[in-house]
Amino acid sequence: MGKRVLVVGGVAGGASAAARIRRLDAEASITVFERGEHVSFSNCALPYYLSRTVEDKDYLVMMTPEGFKASYDIDVRTNNEVLKIDRNRRMVLVKNRITGEEYEEAYDELVLSPGSAPIRPGKIEGISLPHVFTVRNVTDIVKLDSYVRQAKSSNVAVIGGGFIGLEVAENLKEAGMNVSVVEAARQVMAPFDQDMSQILHKELSDHGIELILSDGVKAITEEKVILNSGREVAADTVVLAIGVVPETGLAKDAGLEIGETGAIK
Ligand SMILES: Cc1cc2nc3c(=O)[nH]c(=O)nc-3n(C[C@H](O)[C@H](O)[C@H](O)COP(=O)(O)OP(=O)(O)OC[C@H]3O[C@@H](n4cnc5c(N)ncnc54)[C@H](O)[C@@H]3O)c2cc1C
């Protein structure tokens, strides 16, 4: 019998690793566990569903569990979360998030690719209100999209002027919303030089997006975002795009080393 390989996480890292392992080893038994509803989706295209540049949410998903089975003989289990790693017994404890059932699986090799989660700072008042969204996966973007369309939201505040914040802002504007971008730094897109970011500031302004720089969020209410400066931004929908934090809980719990950036080494 071939080696038993388990992969935790089924998006860019996990799905690619599983496919690569199959190419290297025709005999291996490969299982991918993904906590979410989908594997192998196009994160990069998510914001473009808001404007229907990507017309159908199904186009966001590149590969299904059935496709993995048929093309690579890989067993992909969505809605299945790995809760614990027992390195001595070479076992993982898995929870089926649909049935609630917990079960163990043995491994010879274990690949961790749990990615990173959007930051949601606990200390901001109103951060858990139902109209405050983050964007990581297909489920998130469909939720945000349904909310803005069904609630007939008109004013959206996007917090964070990085790649994801600007893409979300662009596409919500395209979808007909009034969009404000709030950025704590003096410019959007931190990796760019200041003079280059001025071009982006003008582009946002030319498209009618309100840009607020050098200010942060103090509190969120149902109708507005209150900034540190005291300024208030009308918002019936808020999207947080202020960065991500590596998912290291499983690895730390298993005694694995964490690197200097705070991710799994
Ligand atoms: C809106 C958006 C737009 C983006 N656009 C671009 C772009 O244009 N270009 C670019 O290069 N990058 C882009 N990115 C970044 C890119 O998507 C990420 O770099 C990439 O998704 C990282 O892949 P990953 O597999 O490491 O992690 P993730 O995508 O975070 O996937 C990890 C998966 O592991 C699962 N998981 C975690 N823990 C467990 C567990 N214990 N059990 C089971 N499953 C678990 C999670 O549910 C998650 O689905 C974008 C990201 C977003 C959110």
pLDDT in tens, 238-257: 999 999 999 999 999 999 99
CA of 155 from ligand 1 middle (Å) equals 28
Residue 160 Cβ < 6 Å to ligand 1: no
> For the whole model, what pTM was predicted?
0.96
Dump pLDDT digits (tens) for 74-132. Answer: 999 999 999 999 999 999 999 999 999 999 999 999 999 999 999 999 899 999 999 99
CA of 46 from ligand 1 middle (Å) equals 11
Residue 114 Cβ < 6 Å to ligand 1: yes
Closest CA to ligand 1's atom 7 = 44
Residue 183 Cβ < 6 Å to ligand 1: no
**pLDDT > 70 in the chain, percent:** 100
Tell me how far the alpha carbon of residue 52 is from its chain's centroid.
19
Q: Which of 20, 44, 119, 151 is catalytic?
A: 44
CA of 136 from ligand 1 middle (Å) equals 7
Residue 65 Cβ < 6 Å to ligand 1: no
Is 218 tagged catalytic?
Answer: no
Q: Is residue 1 very low, low, confident or very high in pLDDT (cuts 50, 70, 90)?
A: confident
